[in-house]
Each structure stands twice: as C-alpha cells, then as structure tokens.
Chain A
Amino acid sequence: MTLRAEHVAVGTELPARTVTVTRADLVRYAGASEDFNPVHWNPRVAREAGMPDVIAHGMLTMAVAARTVTDWVRDPGAIVEYRTRFSSPVVVPDDEHGAYLEVRGRVGALLDGGRVRVDLTVTSGGVKVLGEARAVVQLGLPGQPEAPAEPGEHSR
C-alpha cells in the first residue's frame, strides 16, 4: 500500500477536496490548540484588527490543506517538510455553511532519494489563501519492504 516514487510524475494530481469551516470549527480549533486569539471568535476584535469579520486560524487552514497530502501518502511520517505563507485571511461568516476551502495538490518536482514536492493550492471564494504551500514527501523506493522491518522505525 506504500505509495512508491515510480508511480508518481511531475503533474500527478492529488484528489481535490472542498472543506467547510464554520464558527463552531473555529471554537473547536481554538480549544484544541489553546489559541484563544479573539480575531478568531470575536467579530468586534476582528474588525479592530482590520479584518472584515472573524477569520480562521491560519494554522487551521494549513492543517486542512495537510490532509490532502497525508490522505494521499497515507503515512504522516512520510512528510519531510511542510511550509506555507498565509497570503489572505479566510473570513468565516456567521451562518450555517461558514467558509469554503478548496484544496488542490499536484506533484511539482521529483527530488533525490524518492522524495517529491507537492504544491498545494488553497482558495476560499476564489481567493488564494495560502501562498507557496508546499510539502516534501518521502515515497517508497523500488525494492523497499512495504512496512519498515524494525518496530519503532518509520518510513523516512
């Protein structure tokens, strides 16, 4: 089941996802991450900070985008590097739908040693919200066992 480097080429598309983020999701993320910055739950403070309304935690958007990569590669331990710039805020309206995040990924480069670079595009309402969102992923190499031989080792 290990995703192998020889099955992947530049341009290989990862399954696209659409994810909704509601005010309730922001509250849940605030609790789980202990990030109680009020711009993520208090419209008055969000406006004082210069935002049109409450915005999603950048780290929540980054986490939502990461799932596109981890679902594809199956093992979170395969991720070697993950980075992004937070280019535009995700404004989360106070309604039942919330904000829509569209996440797309494609293989942007084949690197040495079975590593590949996945380029992610994340938009909300047609606006790019993450800039240069990229993950470097270690894929399986030909001749490697399906699972690591030693318990406690991971697939890197």
Chain B
Amino acid sequence: MALNPTCVGTKYPPAHPYPVAAEAIRRFAEAVGDPAAVYVDPDAARALGHPDVVAPPTFPFIVVARAMHDVFRYEEIGFDPTYIVHGNQRFEYTRPVRAGDRLVTTLEITSAKTLRGRDVLGLRADLADADGAHVVTTHMTLVSMVPVDAAEGGAGDDAQG
C-alpha cells in the first residue's frame, strides 16, 4: 500500500450529526480523571455562564473519530491503518462543546507525507452546531507504524497513539 499524495485537499461530506449527551460527557470526564463540577452539574456550568454542562477540552476528538469512522476510509488513500499512532493534535475553540449539541463534522485531508519511512497523514476537522455555527476546529497528524520501506529503518520517536 502506498499513500496517495493526490488525496491532499480532499474534503468529505459532513458526517452524521453527533448528539452530545450529558452522560457521555460525564463518562469522558471520569475516564480522564477530572472531577470538575462544570462537567457534571448543570448549576455549576450555569454559574460560569454556560447553558448546560460542558465537555473537557479534548472531548471533540472523539466526535472527530466518530466522523472519521462514518465518512473516511484509510484504504481509499493508501494509508495502512494496521498500527496507527498519533503525531500531533491541535484544537481551536470558538466555544466548548456542551450537552445538547448536535455536532456536524466536516473532514479534510491537509497533508500526506512519508517521513523517516512512515506514512503521516494530516487531517483537519471543523465542528459546527445545529445552527451551523462554528464550535471547534481540530488539526491532527496520524502516523502509520507499518514501515513504508523496511530498509529505511525506524522512526517511531514522534508518536504515541
């Protein structure tokens, strides 16, 4: 399998809306070990000016992952997904995700390179609410740990999933 460089710029149709349940936020906050009241108690969230409980800053990633599952196939662009690790991640927020949101994610391939014998894919995801208003944009790189050319030797020092 070889990563197809012409995939850069591919923009996928919007994924199915992701309804954000308060219970999913609670479960996520618990899983990352954060007991802050703003994630579970609507009154605490309202005291900070939010209409309902908000999600921790990295929660949008799971919405993006769900959207990828929905609209995106690694095989179509020649990226081997057998062992994927995460290279980098960035979030740019207009506001925090909150309970009751129905988030629509639009994915775009922003880069496709082979670095130190590993295919590295760059993706951008824009998340909008039911009114079409921007909520958060994420940028990430994903690294396939399957060597493109075994003779080039290992990279693997810039990624952890």
Contacts and interface: CB of A to CB of B under 8 A. Distances in A.
A56 interface: yes
B36 A70 contact: yes
A63 B30 CA distance: 11
A148 interface: yes
Nearest to B55: A76
Given A64-B33, A66-B58, A49 B145 contact: yes
Interface string A68-87: 01110011110111111111
Given A86-B85, A147-B47, A32 B160 contact: no
Given A48-B83, A86-B88, A34 B66 contact: yes
Contact of B96 (A19, A89, A154): A154
A58 B32 contact: no
Nearest to B154: A50
A81 B93 contact: yes
Chain B: number of interface residues, binned into ranges: 35 or more
Interface stretch (A5-13, A23-31, A107-115): A23-31
B160 A35 contact: no
A45 B31 CA distance: 23
Interface residues of A, number: 58
Contacts of B56: 63, 66-67, 70, 76
A98 to B, nearest CB: 12
B95 interface: yes
B124 to A, nearest CB: 13
Contacts of A31: 27, 31
Given A33-B65, A70-B57, A148-B49, A39 B32 contact: no
Contacts of A86: 85-89, 158-161
Given A56-B160, A152-B49, 17 more contacts: A19-B33, A32-B28, A40-B161, A49-B85, A58-B160, A58-B161, A70-B34, A74-B48, A76-B39, A76-B54, A81-B92, A86-B159, A86-B160, A147-B48, A147-B49, A148-B49, A151-B49
The list of the 9 closest CB pairs from A to B, nearest first, reads A32-B31, A83-B90, A49-B83, A148-B49, A63-B32, A89-B160, A58-B86, A85-B88, A86-B160
